[in-house]
Amino acid sequence: MHPWWVYAAFTAFVLVMLALDLGVFNRKAHVVRPREAAVWTGVWVSLSLLFSVGVGHFMGRQAALEFLAGWLVEKALSIDNIFVIVLIFGYFGVPARYQHRVLFWGILGALVFRGLMIGVGSVLLERFHWVLYIFGAFLVYTGIRMMRQTEREMDPETAPVLRLVRRWAPVTGEYHGSRFIIKQPGDDGRMRRVLTPLFVVLITVETTDVIFALDSIPAVFAVTRDPFLVYTSNVFAILGLRSLYFLLADVVQRFHLLKVGLGVVLVFVGAKMLAEDLVHVPTGVSLAVIALVIAGSVVLSILFPKESEEPARRPLADSPPSDDPPPAPIETTRDP
């Protein structure tokens, strides 16, 4: 077990980086261009690799390999998350200049929820060994299901969270800049707080990340049982998700075989977890298999594109930079 101050120091570092991100580099809402996204992606990847070097120095080579394997699994699965974020932003017509703000606060909440889930998972695995087989079977099932799923099925209109928000809180019919909550006069003339569509988008992104975490966190536990390595690999992968989104949003649809590759990875780590008591797979071998499968699925997607593939959508570059965003498909009344 690592002392509490190690987690505290790492969390403080993360908070400082997030404060610099939103308070300095992205203080003003703007459209994130591919060049800026590429720079920030390089920053987060470099920080992750430097952290792995530090892990190797203080905890040993094995721990460094486990961190890299967990980080790579989480990073690859986060690309699948980008598919859904593209759909959510497109459905709600989120102006490009406000997408970074949504992702920033969404990822901040994701870090909290994932930290809690990792803590619970670590305690369960430590006290109840049989939970290991439940995680493994779940990963194998999820991987097979992902390989058979040709397209991501996602309709925000049917999302329970959207129905819940509409039922219990008033929502404006249009965006109000980058604000999540505004004040408007009610029927009685008194000022009341009203949610904007941007808040609904934030909640939708947040809940989808929790759903994705149900797959990704057990997958990281399959390559390392150290809670600190699970937590830090998750954090570094999630912190780089925003820049990765803006870098890949226009082309991610072309990686049509990536879902198959991710399914293979989940089946592999799930089977590794199920057979842990019988067969030991070295972490270096796991890391190599994961990297080769993911890289292979991307390369094959480029070499063998879909025949019916349409030109990639450009939800970012084509969005007008004006302050008059398109109307969002949000009802202003509550459900009866």
Q: Is residue 331 exposed (0-12), middle (13-18) or buried (19+ Cβ within 10 Å)?
A: exposed
> Is the distance from CB of 192 to CB of 184 less than 8 angstroms?
yes
Residue with tokens 């949000």: 330
pLDDT of residue 228: 93
Phi, psi of 188 (to 5 degrees): -90, 5
Distance from C-alpha of 119 to C-alpha of 136, rounded to nearest angstrom: 18
Divide the 336 residues of the chain into consecutive groups of 10 and give the mean pLDDT of each group: 84 85 70 84 92 94 94 87 84 86 86 89 88 91 82 56 73 82 78 86 86 86 92 90 84 83 92 88 90 92 73 40 44 40
3-state secondary structure 172-190: CCCCCCCCCEEEEECCCCC
pLDDT of residue 250: 73
| Residue 85 in tokens | 């974020």
| Residue 28 in tokens | 């003003």
Query: How is residue 171 annotated by DSSP?
Result: B
Residue 123 Cα to chain centre, angstroms: 24
**DSSP β-bridge partners for residue 181:** 195
Residues sharing a CB contact under 8 Å with residue 43, sequence separation 6 or more, in sequence order: 243
**DSSP β-bridge partners for residue 195:** 171, 181
Q: How many CB atoms lie within 10 A of CB 57?
A: 11
- Domain chopping of the chain, boundaries: 31-303
Grouping H, G, I as helix, E, B as strand and the rest as coil, residue 54 is helix
> Is the distance from CB of 249 to CB of 316 less than 8 angstroms?
yes
* pTM exceeds 0.95: no
Residue with tokens 């290991």: 132
Give helix 131-148 / helix 197-221 axis angle, nearest 10°. 120
Helices (H), the chain: 4-20, 34-59, 61-92, 96-127, 131-148, 160-168, 197-221, 227-239, 241-248, 258-274, 283-303
**Nearest alpha-carbon partner for 152 in 240, 72, 85:** 85
| Residue 240 in tokens | 């780089």
Distance from C-alpha of 152 to C-alpha of 255, rounded to nearest angstrom: 13
pLDDT of residue 317: 36
pLDDT of residue 85: 87
pLDDT of residue 160: 66
